[in-house]
Amino acid sequence: MGIGASALNPSLTDTNVSPVYHSSQYAISPGDLNVTSAITLGCVLNDARFTFWSILRHGVRARAAEHGITVIDQDARTVEAQVEIVADLLRRRVHALILGPAHETRAFAQHLELARLARVPVIEVDGGILEGYVSATVRSNERQGLMRIADLITTRLGDQVRIALIAGPRNQRAEILAEALRRWSSVQIVAQAVGDWTHESGRRLTEEWVRSDQSINAIFAANDPMALGAIDALEAHRRNGTVVVAGFDGLPEALRAIYSNQMLATVDQDPLRIGRQAVDVALQVLRGDPVERQIFTPGELITRDNVTESALRALDLLPGIMRDLIESNAERQKLQEEIIAAQRSTIRELSTPIIPIDARTLVVPLIGAIDSARATQMTHAILEAIGERRADDVIIDITGIAVIDTGVANHLVQTAQAARLLGAHVTLAGMSSEVAQTIVQLGVKLGQLTTCSNLQAALELARRRRRR
């Protein structure tokens, strides 16, 4: 699974090396230990277009903030770009590196040797593809999760499992699942292919199997985006009721598919926990404490039985991720908007979710149809939250609202007026052209309601208003 150790660090190639890493060579001074604000961590992660990596990054930032540690974090889609970032971070004299490499490679070798010489420990997150070059690797217990998926599929389908496997590049999840399924002699693996982790590759490979008339009743994909692509292909060919699909990662998009019975299961790797633990391990190494070379976090099998609880946990991430969004550059903000959109799908069944962005700002994302009863409840919930939290700004995001009538529009105006009496300003974000035309045609006067084209603009407006 990992790349072979080389002359880069001969001591790490010895097969008798203890699995416990003694990190005294990296110990920082006692003065720095007592003032964690003096510590700076460099964090280089894989492609932030994938929700997994964005959540993991948030875990690193959140845990570092708890310790008062400075984090310089960047993401890159290629090893070449990551190597440049690592070199730059070493020039900036970070105390430790947290690294999520793009893929298996020896390109990091010279820079990790430079890190060792500079007494900068490297903590790898996910993958385990740099074993022998790093102080420790923090990742989820994938084998445990895959064994549970194998048990679930065979329980669901009995002795007639005919499964196709979509692997990821340079990844062993499909192999591990195949090994687990061999416990049942009646299980047949009828097709295998390698995708590229994207939704499109899962859709394309599944379409090829369906068109070739493969007799498949189960598909496992090594991550959730490929599993969701497989589901789209099955639906297009009207096979979604005859084939069960399982994925891996526990992403918000997959939770919605499980809730609607489109997907059988996924495994939540808990990237938030991996990111947080990576910071803790980095601090242990810097203190000179021994750490395990391989640190596994537990994975959780998510099915229809526990998807609601998992969705609510995912919702809890939204405020922190949105704060990250505000602090990040324009490109990262765009990527985080995709995460926010995915998170919204997990709260579709909630009536009026109110999300505190900070001590004085509330965001209320509204999704689905709104009738008079829900509008009344929404007004009550918002006013109650303003009173409890003493909020100055309330942003009502109606991006997910397709239809609005006179009653709902008037409720929004009344909410804004009542909020004003409580000392809060209400901004309406994400109004579609269709909704805008409807409001004009209905002759509704928005009065004191401020409007913005999207949530990003509304958040920035609230920040500018606060500076005045």
Residue 296 CB coordination number (10 Å) = 17
pLDDT average, residue stretch 350-377? 73
Question: Among 157-166, 286-295, 334-343, 428-437, whose mean pLDDT is lowest?
Answer: 334-343
Q: What is the pLDDT of residue 347?
A: 41
pLDDT band at 188 (very low <50, low <70, confident <90, very high): very high
Task: Give the C-alpha separation, 247 to 218, whole Å.
Answer: 11
pLDDT (average), residues 413-421: 85
What CA–CA distance (Å, rounded) separates 315 from 114?
40
Instruction: Tell me the three-class secondary structure of the chain, residue by residue.
Output: CCCCCCCCCHHHCCCCCCCEECCHHHCCCHHHHHCHHHCEEEEEECCCCCHHHHHHHHHHHHHHHHHCCEEEEEECCCHHHHHHHHHHHHHCCCCEEEECCCCCCCCCHHHHHHHHHCCCCEEEECCCCCCCCCCEEEEECHHHHHHHHHHHHHHHHCCCCEEEEEECCCCCHHHHHHHHHCCCCCCEEEEEEECCCCHHHHHHHHHHHHHCCCCCCEEEECCHHHHHHHHHHHHHCCCCCCCEEECCECCHHHHHHHHCCCCCEEEECCHHHHHHHHHHHHHHHHHCCCEECEEEECCEEECCCCHHHHHHHHHHCHHHHHHHHHHCCHHHHHHHHHHHHHHHHCCCCCCCCCEEEECCEEEEEEECCCCHHHHHHHHHHHHHHHHHHCCCEEEEEEEECCCCCHHHHHHHHHHHHHHHHCCCEEEEECCCHHHHHHHHHHCCCCCCCEEECCHHHHHHHHHHHHHC
Q: How far apart are CA 88 and CA 90, in angstroms?
A: 5
Place 346 in a pLDDT band, splitting at 50, 70 and 90.
very low
Question: Is the model's pLDDT at 107 over the cut of 50?
Answer: yes
What average pLDDT does the segment 72-82 reach?
A: 83
Beta bridge partners of 137: 124, 294
Question: What is d(CA 229, CA 206) in angstroms, rounded to the nearest whole number?
Answer: 8
Close Cβ partners of 50 (under 8 Å, ≥ 6 residues apart) = 197, 225
Residue 157 or 374, more confident: 157
**pLDDT for 432:** 77
**Quick check: 459 and 430 in contact, CB under 8 A?**
no
CB 266 within 8 A of CB 254: yes
Question: Using one digit for the tens of pLDDT, what is the confidence trace for 309-325?
Answer: 877 776 666 666 666 65
pLDDT digits (tens, 9 = 90+) for 18-62: 344 444 455 454 444 444 558 999 999 987 777 788 889 889 999
pTM of the predicted model as reported, rounded to 2 decimal places: 0.58
Is pLDDT at 330 greater than 60 in this prediction? no
| pLDDT for residue 10 is more than 50 | no
Rounded to the nearest 10 degrees, the angle between the axes of helix 406-421 and helix 433-442 is 90
Q: How many CB atoms lie within 10 A of CB 261?
A: 11
CB atoms within 10 A of CB 124: 26
Range name among 75-79, 200-204, 218-222 with the lowest pLDDT average: 75-79
Q: What pLDDT shows up at residue 18?
A: 37
Q: What is the pLDDT of residue 145?
A: 92
* Between residues 285 and 405, the one the model is more confident about: 285
**Could you give the CA distance from residue 468 to residue 464 in angstroms, rounded to a whole number?**
7
Tell which residue, 104, 105, 54, 49, has the closest CA to residue 77: 49
Q: Per-residue pLDDT for 232 more than 50? A: yes
Cα–Cα dist 139/468, whole Å: 45
Cβ atoms of residues 9 and 135 within 8 Å? no
Position 238 pLDDT exceeds 80: yes
Question: Is the confidence at residue 210, as pLDDT, over 60?
Answer: yes
State the pLDDT at residue 331.
41
* Assigned token pair, 300: 């959780």
pLDDT of residue 402: 66
User: Distance of CA 124 to CAs 108, 129, 462, Å?
Assistant: 12, 8, 38
Please report the domains of the chain, with CATH numbers, ordered by start residue: 10-138+271-297 (3.40.50.2300), 142-268 (3.40.50.2300), 351-467 (3.30.750.24)
Percent residues over pLDDT 70 in the chain: 78
| Cα 55 to Cα 217: distance, rounded to the nearest angstrom | 32
Position with higher pLDDT, 252 vs 221: 221
pLDDT at 285: 92
Q: Between 451 and 104, where is the model more confident?
A: 451
Q: What pLDDT, in 10s, does the model give residues 380-412? A: 888 888 888 888 999 988 876 766 777 777 778
Most confident residue range from 46-50, 87-91, 405-409, 431-435: 87-91
Q: How many other C-beta atoms can be found within 10 angstroms of the C-beta atom of residue 262?
A: 19
